[in-house]
Structure 1
């Protein structure tokens, strides 16, 4: 096990990564993001499909909000500690965090997010980091960062705009509202829906269909189509970091300025 809250299981060409902290609705921390990045970078060549999922009643309710408190999360860098180093330290820190999300685009396997319950903030952005999304009818998505005075900064802004368009992405992020699974499907955020009881079967059917394609063709297809999306990915990630740096410094009284 690479992280106490990340369960990794491999069944032939399929690897399943389960966020496994159900008592906190799979809240995320920097050490989890580091573990996710390492999983993506070290994926064996014979793994053709990766499934990202959450244990318990939610995919992920987002960042562990204890990181915003003075006590923080034991063993994790708090937001105040991150901000204390000044703008460059903030951006270096966020750049490291982003790897837990962006590394999945570079890995050769097709990544499927299996979403049920909440996918909020970092949870929403992890779903966006996948190539494909399957959602239970009870799932809902929300970008709550703006309501906290922040912006999404874990690689989610680019994929969201590409999937649903600028205006709808702006409205979803600015209002922080819930997007139901049926709406997510209708606007192109989610590829397929299933009743909660059938979500595993629906994901399995998609995985089987992906594995039915010849392996060399599937490996060539992912970078080919991702390259066609266009846009400057690294520039977008930098813009996320820059925007968040100013907001974090203002929130925490300019620590390290």
Structure 2
């Protein structure tokens, strides 16, 4: 089996910390696989996601995206690779507050010709952006508004639409349902999982909400693979 995302002998320690927070021998995700990653606070979930996306670079070991070792790329090359191939739903959303909802969703297409071309394969990129916002249940009257004028739950759905536009090979989601009520959460998962399945996108989804675990093809308890977390809990 070929993996779109893989980590081997991965080690990471925050500057000044006495011990590493990530010590993982192997972690791999195949195309189209939906992985539910969970564990207690402080076990390294968000740090691992940042390493997988090349936002952070490991102290030792390798993280490969589509065969490319993040550590072998320059900072500029990492940024280009990330926007071309990774849709990231950040825990704090990272929307540009003064841009409209629609323009926030279209940002990956502005920075990546590949994402723009893939978004436009069935029409214009703006059409795909609108379709994603519709499917996320965001009223059209909100699309021209600045992102900072939205509620937290609305911003969360905009961030998800931005991650999905242009059919990225990997989608990384850090607690993306935390601000949604039960009905919105289930509708959100319907859209996210269906989009990833249709595009054969690998999905790594972090959440504390065990109620949704059954919707994913694989569950990973991070302390079971992260020796740094298991040692810290002793």
Shorter-chain TM-score category? under 0.3
Greater strand share, 1 or 2?
A: 2
Greater helix share, 1 or 2?
A: 1
> What TM-score comes out, normalization by structure 1 length?
0.26
Q: Whose RCO is larger (CA < 8 A, sep 6+)?
A: 2
